[in-house]
Chain A
Amino acid sequence: MTRSSRPGHAAYPRLGLPAWVFVPAALGALFVVLPLVAMLTQIDWSHFGALVTSESSRAALSLSLKTSLASTVLCIVFGVPMAVVLARTRFPGQSVARSLVLLPLVLPPVVGGIALLYTFGRRGLLGHSMEVLGLQIAFSTTAVVMAQTFVALPFLVVSLEGALRTGGQRFEEVAATLGARPTTVFLRVTLPLALPGLASGAVLAFARALGEFGATITFAGSLQGVTRTLPLEIYLQRETDPQAAVALSLVLVAVATIVITLTRRSRTAL
């Protein structure tokens, strides 16, 4: 990277940075960018429109967006309380609890899918009793959302817990001495102050859910319009119609780029 010359920003000299670090840095950047460029060169632009608007493609894209949105909402509903409990309380076994919550971050998604299957599948831990109640989760759209939530939740928890810890408890203490009950403090002080952390955590969770493959195919299968999300569709098309696979990949890259750009903009606006 060269020196920033944006208006309003002083140009910082490259103080003491050794010249050679630019070589591996540039190589690394090239390693990330080159495959994307290679993909672009392979796209058959004359059929691009038809390829990405085919029935199966549209079904996969809309399923992906819906399930990712749903799992992001679930991540917020469960992840915010988890992050608050981890950041603001102390209880025995807390570090163990934190490690377990973050486990899906390092677990291969296929393993996560198998774990979910043995919990909510027909022969799973809870599956049998749920079947008695008339609930069948595995290989349904619900299973897609659960698989995505499973892998995306730690992203939101880590991001928000970090924001809460950095912010500290100073404002919450003052709010309490001003007579605010714990719920008021949480809603009017804790959450608003952690909003940037929550927003970036939610975006990371959404992006992770959108790209989810392994846990989904293991736990939810690949049924067009029901469980076949965009990554699954791309993988399947690769066998039969490589052109369509590349075109859909570009759609996924575009969605990811839009999401990242939006959050960057909202962050600088804060």
Chain B
Amino acid sequence: MSLSATIRVPERDVDVSLEVPDGRTVAVLGPNGAGKSTALAAIAGLLHPSGGEIRLDDRTLFSANDSREFVPPHARGIGLLAQDARLFPHLSVLDNVAFGPRSAGMPRGRARERAHHWLAEVDATMLADRRPSALSGGQAQRVAIARALATEPGLLLLDEPLSALDVEAAPAVRQLLRRVLAERTTLLVTHDVLDAVLLADEVVVLDGGRVVERGPTATVLTRPTSAFAARIAGLNLVRGTLQGDAVVSPDGVRVAGLVDESVGDDDAAVAVFSPAAVGVYRVAPQGSPRTAVRATVTDLEPHGHQVRVHTAYLSADITPAALADLALTPGDEVVLTVKASEVAIYAG
């Protein structure tokens, strides 16, 4: 099934449109408060938007124009997997998974057969007789996945399904999701770039209640045009207008680079480059590099074998030795240089 949704919730300043083609997984990325959960709740039917339209194939689930149509959540055929597993604490694991089929009117025996089948699909057969309180976080999320799939939903909504799991449990559950989501129409809300890369075909980036970027996952992560996408892709992004072979931001930062043919002078453009391409100096180096930006160090954090130096705009990766040599602390004034050959400039 394919989803086509336009959701307007003025009280929360949300106005987004989302499309999920049949059998594909679309990841919705964005900072906290971007409107991701609001959009998901509206699609699930747990929130009544003030405007817009939600359609699953040719079935209208909600329409603001058309006689205030609103299909209640239980009749939508849309599964929801939340951050926490939310297994019913008073039911066994098996009866949790059988809950959906039972609610659809299936007799107890057949519903339990169905539950066994889906527990086997998520490698949780041995948990069938346990109470939810006796499960680890990863086990509980496995069971919740089986429970959501047992209703055979036309669309599956995942609301940060891995964010509540510890680092040991997350990879196995992510692997499981990768397996069960193939061929399934899925909308995945996440803030983790790994989820987007491993699970999603396409990415939609929300910020401030609006869609700021969308496209195939690989494109968005390698050539981001929004600050958020650049941040989670681990890239620096400077937005402005093209002047010659450089992007000039409204507050005067100038970054030179390799300009894509599609963008012309005075067009809106972004300059994107890796923190590894940024050099950090106490005083401007000799030979006046093409791009030199004055900045104040805001934060230092370990990043693999490097140290990432954050400033208000850009971040740079330097070696611990270089850090010791520079003796940097937050608040220090530095000059950042960027090699033009490592900067991609394209329309943004």
Contacts and interface: CB of A to CB of B under 8 A. Distances in A.
A176 B90 contact: no
Contacts of A184: 103
Interface in A171-198: 171, 173-182, 184-185, 188-189, 192-193
Contacts of A182: 72, 74
A64 B90 CA distance: 35
Interface stretch (B53-61, B78-86, B318-326): B78-86
A181 B100 CA distance: 11
B73 interface: yes
B88 A179 contact: no
A180 B82 contact: no
Contacts of B148: 177-178
A170 interface: yes
Given A176-B46, A179-B77, A182-B72, 12 more contacts: A171-B88, A173-B80, A174-B80, A176-B73, A176-B74, A177-B45, A177-B148, A178-B74, A178-B103, A179-B100, A179-B104, A179-B151
Contacts of B88: 171, 174-175, 189, 193
Most chain-B CB neighbours within 10 Å: which of A171, A178, A181? Answer: A178
Nearest to B80: A177
B99 A188 contact: yes
Contact of A177 (B79, B89, B104): B79
A174 B82 contact: yes
Most chain-B CB neighbours within 10 Å: which of A170, A176, A181, A188? Answer: A176
Interface residues of A, number: 18
20 contacts: A170-B86, A171-B86, A173-B46, A175-B88, A175-B103, A177-B74, A177-B76, A178-B74, A178-B79, A178-B99, A178-B103, A179-B77, A179-B103, A180-B74, A180-B103, A182-B72, A192-B90, A193-B88, A193-B89, A193-B90
Nearest to A180: B103
A170 B148 CA distance: 15
Nearest to B46: A173
Contact of B99 (A180, A181, A193): A180
Nearest to B77: A179
Contacts of B74: 176-182, 185
B72 A178 contact: no
B103 A177 contact: no
Contacts of B114: none
B223 interface: no
Task: Give the size range of B's interface with the partner.
Answer: 20 to 34
Nearest 6 Cβ contacts at the A-B interface: A180-B103, A178-B100, A177-B80, A176-B73, A192-B90, A179-B103
Interface of A: 170-171, 173-182, 184-185, 188-189, 192-193
B172 to A, nearest CB: 22
Given A173-B46, A173-B73, A184-B103, A178 B90 contact: no
Contacts, number: 63
Contacts of A188: 99
A174 B74 CA distance: 10
A146 to B, nearest CB: 34
Contacts of A185: 74
Nearest to A169: B46
B141 to A, nearest CB: 13
Nearest to B95: A188
Contact of B44 (A171, A177, A193): A177
Nearest to A175: B99
Interface in B107-166: 147-148, 151, 157
B80 to A, nearest CB: 4
Contacts of A181: 74, 103
Nearest to B78: A177
B5 to A, nearest CB: 16
A174 B103 CA distance: 12
A79 to B, nearest CB: 21
A181 B84 CA distance: 23
Contact of B86 (A174, A180, A192): A174
Contacts of B46: 173, 176-177
Contacts of A192: 90
Contact of B151 (A170, A171, A178, A189): A178
Nearest to A178: B100
A252 to B, nearest CB: 35
B107 to A, nearest CB: 15
Nearest to A185: B74
A192 B96 CA distance: 14
A185 B100 CA distance: 11
Nearest to A179: B103
A181 B148 CA distance: 16
A175 B75 CA distance: 12
